[in-house]
Amino acid sequence: MEPVDRRDFIKTVAGTAAVASLEGRGAVAAEAGPVFLSTWIWGKAANERAAEVLKGGGSLLDAIEKGINIPENDPNVMTVGYGGLPNAEGVVELDAAIMDGTRHRAGSVCNLHMIKNPISVARLVMEKTRHTTLAGEGAFRFALKMGFEPQTLLTPQSLQKWQEWKADPHHKTFWLSPDNHDTIGMVGTDGKGHFVAGCSTSGSAYKIPGRVGDSPLIGCGVYADDNVGAASATGDGDLMTNYCTSVSIVHLMARGASPQDACMELLRHMVKTDPQNKDGGVAVIAMNTRGEIGAASMNEAFHLKYALWRDGQSQLLDSVKLI
């Protein structure tokens, strides 16, 4: 794919839905078989669970939700769910989103406390309400109404880390600079033309209470469209939100870019608009209706290892770096 300049990029993003449907891209998905693509090393177990759920007769939404539940439940994954690092006041605030590419419907939660599976709550927001996003106390009360059990999400490990940060007189705060990212982002297809994207995170460690990252914002952390494919993002959400990362990648694919080219083009666009972005923590994954995949990181300092499940094979791979 030819590099896209800024004006072309904007035109690209503006004119895509029509192109996607004209090209009828959904038609070839059936040939690809189920494929699951996730961020970071814990994505491997998540993909394997998703594949198992789908094979056992679950829907693609079940597969993505149950897959993401794996790192959410794992106290050793300190950036997602139970055991995720807390905000500056020591409270674990979780964000998650899920999008169904068939109905073009999504659900998300922001700043959810005391509930370890925000992706499951996000799915219920999508399925049981007319809303797309619930935040904070309202999201918590909705989760209780749906039968989720409140529990402390701090583990001895995450509490100790927060206490060390708090006690350090020189600790960095988000009034100045960001720190620590690693969402689980996941995109999957059932191989029958259906796409779902989901992500779940505790967000930036020691964030200012109430901060919402890119993960629960539809089009930023996740995007799925059965006509084209799906994408997800991980990294500095305060930066990536300004680029509507996932929807931009899906729209580039709708214009004909391969998933890898679309991921790289988005990163190039970020650097073109602000050269400082080359030092940013930015990584993205994408998949199209042919089951082709892409994974890219901005730089070596934030180099994404991603997980791919296809044809019964579960692998961990290195993303392509822009810089």
Instruction: Figure out which of the listed residues 65, 93, 100, 182 binds ligand ASP, where binding follows CB under 6 A.
Output: 182
Question: Quick check: 185 and 237 in contact, CB under 8 A?
Answer: no
Burial class (CB in 10 A: 0-12, 13-18, 19+), 91: middle
Q: Does residue 277 interact with ligand ASP by CB under 6 A?
A: no
Number of H helices, E strands in the chain: 10, 13
Q: Does residue 232 interact with ligand ASP by CB under 6 A?
A: no
User: What character string, x for contact with ligand ASP (CB under 6 A) and - otherwise, covers 97-136?
Assistant: ----------------------------------------
Give the DSSP per-residue string, 181-208. Answer: ---EEEEEE-SSS-EEEEEEE--STTPP
Question: What is the rounded CA–CA span in Å between residue 270 and residue 276?
Answer: 9
Q: Does residue 203 interact with ligand ASP by CB under 6 A?
A: yes
Question: What is the rounded CA–CA span in Å between residue 320 and residue 312?
Answer: 24
Ranges of H-type helices in 35-79: 43-55, 60-73
Ranges of H-type helices in the chain: 6-14, 16-23, 43-55, 60-73, 118-128, 136-145, 156-167, 237-240, 245-254, 259-273
* Least distance in angstroms from the C-beta of 95 to ligand ASP: 6
Instruction: Figure out which of the listed residues 237, 280, 291, 294 binds ligand ASP, where binding follows CB under 6 A.
Output: 237
Q: Does residue 183 interact with ligand ASP by CB under 6 A?
A: yes
Question: Quick check: 61 and 99 in contact, CB under 8 A?
Answer: no
* Of 172 and 290, CB closest to ligand ASP: 172
* Of 16 and 200, CB closest to ligand ASP: 200
* Of 182 and 225, CB closest to ligand ASP: 182
Q: Does residue 87 interact with ligand ASP by CB under 6 A?
A: no
With tokens 């190039």, the residue in question is: 268
* Least distance in angstroms from the C-beta of 203 to ligand ASP: 4
Instruction: Figure out which of the listed residues 235, 259, 291, 294 binds ligand ASP, where binding follows CB under 6 A.
Output: 235
* Of 116 and 310, CB closest to ligand ASP: 116
* Of 83 and 203, CB closest to ligand ASP: 203
| Residue 183 appears among annotated catalytic residues | yes
Active site residue: 183, 189, 241, 289, which one? 183
- DSSP state at residue 277: G
Q: Does residue 214 interact with ligand ASP by CB under 6 A?
A: yes
Question: What is the rounded CA–CA span in Å between residue 46 and residue 67?
Answer: 4
Q: Does residue 226 interact with ligand ASP by CB under 6 A?
A: no
Q: Does residue 26 interact with ligand ASP by CB under 6 A?
A: no
Question: Quick check: 84 and 91 in contact, CB under 8 A?
Answer: no
Q: Which residue ranges make up the site for ligand ASP (CB under 6 A)?
A: 79, 181-183, 201, 203-204, 213-215, 234-237
Q: Which residues are catalytic?
A: 183
